[in-house]
Structure formats: C-alpha cells, structure tokens
Amino acid sequence: MFQRKKPDASKLCQAFFAEFGAGDEARTRDLNLGKVALYQLSYSRLVFTKNIVLCEDQNYSITTNYMSNPTQIRSDFDNALQTLSLDRHNTLGLACRAKRVLTLSSLAQLPHITALSRDHHDLFVLGGGSNVVLPAQLDRVVVQVALKGIALVEAGAPGHDSVYRIDVAAGEGWHHWVETATQRGWFGLENLALIPGTVGGSPVQNIGAYGVEVQDRIESVTAWHIPEGRLVTLSRTECAFTYRDSIFKRADPGTWLIVSVRFLLPKQWVPVLNYPDLQKHPMLAGMTADTVTGQQILDAVCEIRRTKLPDPAILGNAGSFFKNPIVPASQYVSLKQKFSDLVAYAQPDGSYKLAAGWMIERSGWKGKRQGSVGVHDRQALVLVNYGGAQVSALLGLAQDVRSAVLAQFGVPLEMEPVVVSDSPSAS
C-alpha cells in the first residue's frame, strides 16, 4: 500500500508549505476521502540557513497513494484514539478526562477527522490548553493539534517586498515561535513573548500584550473546515478579528481546525514601546526606537511577565481571566469623576479600554482565596488553581469577582477563556 522513498529534505519541506501552508487568500482546497493523493510528512523542527529551508529530522516518508485503502487507514486512525486525562493539557491544571483523544500529527488525518465528526458530532479541538476551562468529564472526542514547522516564504507578493512572510504550523509553541522569529531578525512579535499556548491558538483569541495584537502581524490563516471537509485560507479581514475574538472563536465548536498561520513581519521594523510597563523597565531605560533591539524588548517583556504572572507549571492559571472592558467616552468621564485614579486607555474610535485588573483590585479581590482557587496576589486579572480545584469552584470565584466589579463600577466583566461544556448537547 505504501510507496516509500527519501526525497530531498529541503524540497520536501518547501513542498509541504506550498501545498498545505497558508497561501493566497483565494486558494481553497478540497481534500475528499478517496479522491486526493496526500503527502504525509513526519518531521520535527525546521531550521534555516540564509536562503534554504532545511529540516533537522531527515527520516521522511512520502506517501503518494495514501488514500488507496480507506478501510485500512480508517482502522489505523481509530487505533490512534484513546481515552486520556487532560490534567496536564490545560494550563489551569483542572482535572479532566476526555471520552477519546486523537493527536493530529499529519495532514493526511484531516479527512478522517471530518468523517469522525459526522459519526460522533462531538469533536473538540485543543491546542496548548492555555485559554480553556475544562469540565471534569469531557464527553467528546478531543483533537490535539501537533503539526510542526516554520518556513520562510521566499516569493514576495506584489506590494509586500518590505516584509518577511513566514508560514508556521499550528502546533508550534507560541513562545518558541516568538523566540525563533526574534533570533532570525524577523521582528514585530517580541511584545507577545511568553504568552502560553500554540501558534494555532493565537488567532482564535487574537492574543495581545504590551501594545500589540497578533492580528497586526497576520496575513492569513489556513484552517480545515471540519463539517465541509475542506482546507480554507482566510485573509486577515476574513478572520474578523476584534478584541480577544475572531471568527474561529465565535464559530460553533468543531467547525474550524487551524492548520497554519502566515505571518507578515516588517523588514523596516518599528518597535512598540508606548506601553507604560515597557517605558518604566530599567532594561529599556534611555532606549529609543533607533537604538533598541527586538531581543531587548523580548527580554524585558519576559521579565515583566515573570514578575507579574505565575508560571502555569507551578501554579495553575490561564493568564488574564477577564477582558479589559471597552466603554464609551461618556461612561469613562462619569467613572473618572468618581474614581480619579481610574486606569484607562483611549481607543482610536474615541472609546476607552478600562483596566479590569485595577477594578478587581479596587473591589477588594486581589490576593483573595476561596478554598482551592483564588485571585493572584500580584495580578488581579489572574485566577489561580492552588491544586485539586473543581471547575465549579473556579467559575464560582469568577462570578463573585464579576458581581463585585459590577456593583462598584457598573461595568460587566467578560471572561477571556472559553468555558467548555461537558457534551455537545450542553453547548
């Protein structure tokens, strides 16, 4: 059934992204079971020389007739499913056991994921688990995305000669990608350093920090539309990004599975240094846009985050648990009259983004603990799991915090992480 050979590594890596990576926004590919020959790649990390993409792991196989025996492939696919604890696969550290778990490590599995969704109607796509609140029992089939690869796109698009265009597979760790980009001189992501999660999860949440949102650096996202069984590339506009939101987050669970993200990073880099914490950091003292380096900003951001935020490996958390609410100017003026030290940031449209952490602290919740959960003592935006917490306790704490802020400021807080229901019928 399998026809194996060992092709040239660099050509194979380039062929992978040319065929399946994020490409022109109009490109849509249908991969229907039994109709399309797929290239199956098993690879580790991509590394770069000046102009050539190389792969560290030379043990590649290319399968040109992978779909010739759907019955055997489906059998292999089913054998890859297993019941699994997700305790270590969510940064909050909540105990969770899934019905079945599949690790997606090859694009050849995508048509079978669509077939599985039609059989079970209960798929849940899980990346790094950094922005989810999981139930104790997840009666769904969980797909863990483990696609890897980073590739510099050589051909420049018209009007985009002044940028680097890089395709990154969805399973890459976000911070690893930021470090790699910075080390290679592809600047623009350094303000987003040390954010937990994967590359594939970054556009879902439209992650942001220290004056930068990931939407500012994305050209397109390539994703598998699970119900229709096709690969689709969405432009930045089509992703419908808003503050901590996107088309992927708003869609019904089991609709999209992000495969890769194409980043657009400027060759004429302009550092973003207007965030107060960066301006006050001693590592950047006296630095200007002309003298600072991307690595210096990355290092400063990492130090700030490590000082303010708990390490999920030590104390379970999902980073910021609440969004910073955006209010009209009239409401901001009213609040400012009552609270002269109100922390807020003017927005381009005339509205104001309020600092949720400041409001939570002023409401008396910073550092408070309720049993196995609590509000972090250095960053009030962060809810933590001290160990053995149940999801009900965490959500109960979140509701208490929201109620207190609403009572004092008249501003509702919205949770950032996605609360995952235990079954599709509860969605």
| Range with the poorest average pLDDT among 64-68, 89-93, 312-316, 342-346 | 64-68
- CA distances (Å), origin 220, targets 151, 234, 391, 416: 15, 5, 35, 23
Average pLDDT over residues 126-145: 92
Residue 361's Cα: distance from chain center in Å? 27
Among 217, 244, 305, 362, the active-site one is 244
**pLDDT at res. 276:** 86
**pLDDT at res. 118:** 87
The separation between the first and the last C-alpha atoms of the chain, rounded to the nearest angstrom, is 41
**pLDDT at res. 62:** 22
| Contact assessment for residue 414 and residue 244, using Cβ atoms and an 8 Å cutoff | no
**pLDDT at res. 84:** 83
Average pLDDT over residues 411-418: 96
Burial track 19-32 (b if 16+ CB lie within 10 A, e otherwise): ebbbbebeeeeebe
Q: What is the pLDDT of residues 261-289, one digit of tens each?
A: 999 999 999 999 988 899 999 999 888 88
Whether 244 is a known active-site residue: answer yes
In terms of phi and psi (left: phi > 0; alpha: psi -120 to 50; beta: otherwise), the region of 95 is: beta
| Contact assessment for residue 196 and residue 185, using Cβ atoms and an 8 Å cutoff | no
Q: What is the pLDDT of residues 45-57, one digit of tens each?
A: 333 222 223 223 3
Average pLDDT over residues 190-205: 96
Residue 14's pLDDT band, with cuts at 50, 70 and 90, is very low
**pLDDT at res. 154:** 57
SS3 letters for the chain?
CCCCCCCCHHHHHHHHHHHHCCCCCCCEEECCCCCCCCCCCCCCCEEECCCCEEECCCCCCCCCCHHHCHHHHHHHHHHCCEEEECHHHCCCCCCCEEEEEEEECCHHHHHHHHHHHHHHCCEEEECCCCCEECCCEEEEEEEEECCCCEEECCCCCCCCCCEEEEEEECCCEHHHHHHHHHHCCCCCCHHHCCCCCECCCHHHHCCEECCEEHHHHEEEEEEEECCCCEEEEEECCCCCCECCECHHHHCCCCCEEEEEEEEEEECCCCCCCCCHHHHHCHHHCCCCCCCCCHHHHHHHHHHHHHHHCCCCCCCEEEEECECCCEECHHHHHHHHHHCCCCCEEECCCCCEEECHHHHHHHCCCCCCEECCEEECCCCCCEEEECCCCCHHHHHHHHHHHHHHHHHHHCCCCCECCEECCCCHHHC
Among 320, 362, 363, 402, the active-site one is 320
Average pLDDT over residues 408-427: 86
| Contact assessment for residue 190 and residue 178, using Cβ atoms and an 8 Å cutoff | yes
- Over 90: is that where the pLDDT of 351 sits? yes
Comparing C-alpha atoms, which of 207, 212, 238 is closest to residue 225?
238
Comparing C-alpha atoms, which of 291, 215, 292 is closest to residue 249?
215
Average pLDDT over residues 156-173: 82
**pLDDT at res. 100:** 87
- Over 50: is that where the pLDDT of 175 sits? yes
Burial grade of 103 (CB within 10 A; 0-12, 13-18, 19 or more): middle
CA atoms of 261 and 165, how far apart (whole Å): 10
- Over 50: is that where the pLDDT of 409 sits? yes
Q: What is the pLDDT of residues 284-336, one digit of tens each?
A: 988 888 999 999 999 999 999 999 999 999 999 999 999 999 999 999 999 99
Residues of the chain with pLDDT > 70, as a percent, come to 78
Q: What is the pLDDT of residues 356-401, one digit of tens each?
A: 999 999 999 999 999 999 999 999 999 999 999 999 999 999 999 9
Torsion of CA 233, 239, 245, 247, to 10 degrees: -80
CA atoms of 424 and 132, how far apart (whole Å): 16
- Which one has a higher pLDDT value, 95 or 29? 95
**pLDDT at res. 162:** 86
Pairing of strands 46-48, 256-266: unpaired
- Over 60: is that where the pLDDT of 77 sits? no
**Dihedral pair phi/psi, residue 364, rounded to 5°:** 90, 15
**pLDDT at res. 253:** 83
**pLDDT at res. 229:** 96
Q: What is the pLDDT of residues 88-125, one digit of tens each?
A: 999 999 999 998 889 999 999 999 999 988 887 778 99
**pLDDT at res. 5:** 35
Whether 416 is a known active-site residue: answer yes
- Over 70: is that where the pLDDT of 236 sits? yes
| Contact assessment for residue 189 and residue 164, using Cβ atoms and an 8 Å cutoff | no
- As a whole number of Å, the CA-based R_g of the chain is 22
**pLDDT at res. 221:** 98
Average pLDDT for the chain: 82
Q: Which long-range contacts (CB under 8 A, 24 or more apart) does 276-280 make?
A: 277/210, 277/304, 278/191, 278/210, 278/211, 278/304
| Contact assessment for residue 74 and residue 81, using Cβ atoms and an 8 Å cutoff | no
Residue 423's pLDDT band, with cuts at 50, 70 and 90, is confident
- Over 70: is that where the pLDDT of 35 sits? no
- Over 60: is that where the pLDDT of 32 sits? no
| Range with the poorest average pLDDT among 119-123, 159-163, 176-180, 222-226 | 159-163
- Which one has a higher pLDDT value, 3 or 194? 194
Which residue type sits at 399? Q
